A and B are shown apart, each in its own frame.
Chain A
């Protein structure tokens, strides 16, 4: 058990819908990262928050957004869902913000499997 929790474990929805994925980081971790894992793209970085502020963005679609709350949990919102959004979504957390000499271990949650029908 990494200490990172994600809910729900599975999510099945229809095209055009909106869903929210939730992540609670390990106790003491200030950074939260979201990654998408699909069959044809591997693990792709989406977005990072550090202590409530957006830190970095990857190739995250405009239909996707995220936030980190004062208690440090994070939510990833996916809207206008398409079939191609079906994937595993992972949250990871770490203590540090990252950068030169300031990157530390990221621990991953169990993931949310999203199926868009």
Chain B
């Protein structure tokens, strides 16, 4: 039979450029957001997280921006490197629930051209 896979959006950037990966989340009650990087054959790797009482958080070469008004999250990667090539997932935790379970977005493939 025919196999159907997720058609992930792809972002292609030149090495050294900045990358911006966007994510729309679904629940206005979500109070915790997190970005993961997943390389082929590996588990999701934590990049950065942010709580709903913040609108910006910076890490090493990465920045997460949260816009609660439009329920939008973005991940900015500065000076993108070939090692940044991977699938990036955003995820949210619903603050109204009594669990830390994460709801994942479908992911964005980042391709870095040398």
Q: For A25, list chain B residues within 8 Å (CB).
A: none
State in angstroms the CA–CA spacing of A4 and B6 once bound together: 27
Identify A106's interface contact among B34, B95, B96, CB under 8 A.
Answer: B34
Q: For B6, list chain A residues within 8 Å (CB).
A: 39-42
Identify A108's interface contact among B43, B49, B106, CB under 8 A.
Answer: B43
Do the beta carbons of B100 and A102 come within 8 Å of each other? yes
The number of chain A residues touching the other chain, given as a range, is 35 or more
Do the beta carbons of B97 and A99 come within 8 Å of each other? yes
Chain B positions 75-113 with a Cβ under 8 Å from a chain A Cβ = 89, 91, 93, 95-107
Q: For A100, list chain B residues within 8 Å (CB).
A: 31, 95-96
State in angstroms the CA–CA spacing of A40 and B46 once bound together: 23
Known: A90-B44, A103-B31. A42 touches B106 (CB 8 A): yes
Chain A positions 36-70 with a Cβ under 8 Å from a chain B Cβ = 39-45, 48, 55-56, 58
Do the beta carbons of A55 and B98 come within 8 Å of each other? yes
Identify A56's interface contact among B5, B34, B97, B106, CB under 8 A.
Answer: B97
Q: Could you tell me the dominant secondary structure of chain B's interface residues?
A: loop
Minimum distance in angstroms from B5 CB to a CB of chain A: 4
Do the beta carbons of B102 and A111 come within 8 Å of each other? no
- The answer to whether A24 has its CB under 8 Å from any CB of chain B is no
Do the beta carbons of A99 and B43 come within 8 Å of each other? no
Q: For A96, list chain B residues within 8 Å (CB).
A: 100
State in angstroms the CA–CA spacing of A96 and B44 once bound together: 19
- The answer to whether A80 has its CB under 8 Å from any CB of chain B is no
Query: Could you name 23 residue pairs across A and B whose Cβ atoms are closer than 8 Å?
Result: A2-B43, A2-B46, A42-B6, A42-B104, A45-B101, A48-B100, A56-B101, A90-B44, A97-B98, A98-B97, A98-B100, A98-B101, A99-B95, A99-B97, A100-B31, A100-B95, A100-B96, A106-B46, A107-B46, A108-B43, A108-B44, A108-B46, A110-B43
